[in-house]
Structure 1
Amino acid sequence: MTGNPHPATAALLKYFAWEHLPAHLQAVSRPFGELAELMASRLDGPELTAGLRKLLEAKDCCVRAAL
């Protein structure tokens, strides 16, 4: 990510980390994290924060499905 993200964006992005997960969960979580970083590097504002919250919810559901 370039520049300083809004504090709300930065707070959400930390939940997209995947490196700490076992390999089979990394495979599910990583694409969401990469998309979140891409969107944060290109967009800004309250709609980005809303979109990241929804993306986080989707990521969490998919990771739970893989458990």
Structure 2
Amino acid sequence: MSERPFLQVIKGDATPEEVAALIAVVSARATAPAAAPARRGSVWTDRSRLVRGPVQAGPGAWRASALPR
């Protein structure tokens, strides 16, 4: 296994303090817990089901208005 540096300054002249700050940020980001996936609620508790749909005019519309969506 070759001993190569993990980070390398390609352009410019970074001070030891700047390199230390960069390593601190990268290591903090690497150890941060992953965000929990968005939890989807049950279809029964979905409030968007309460929103009324558009009114459809035409033959049989009164019968279709009483049927579940």
TM-score of the superposed pair, with normalisation by structure 2: 0.30
Hey, which of these two has a bigger chunk of helix by percent?
1
Q: State the structure with bigger RCO (CA 8 A, min sep 6), 1 or 2.
A: 1
Larger Rg: 2
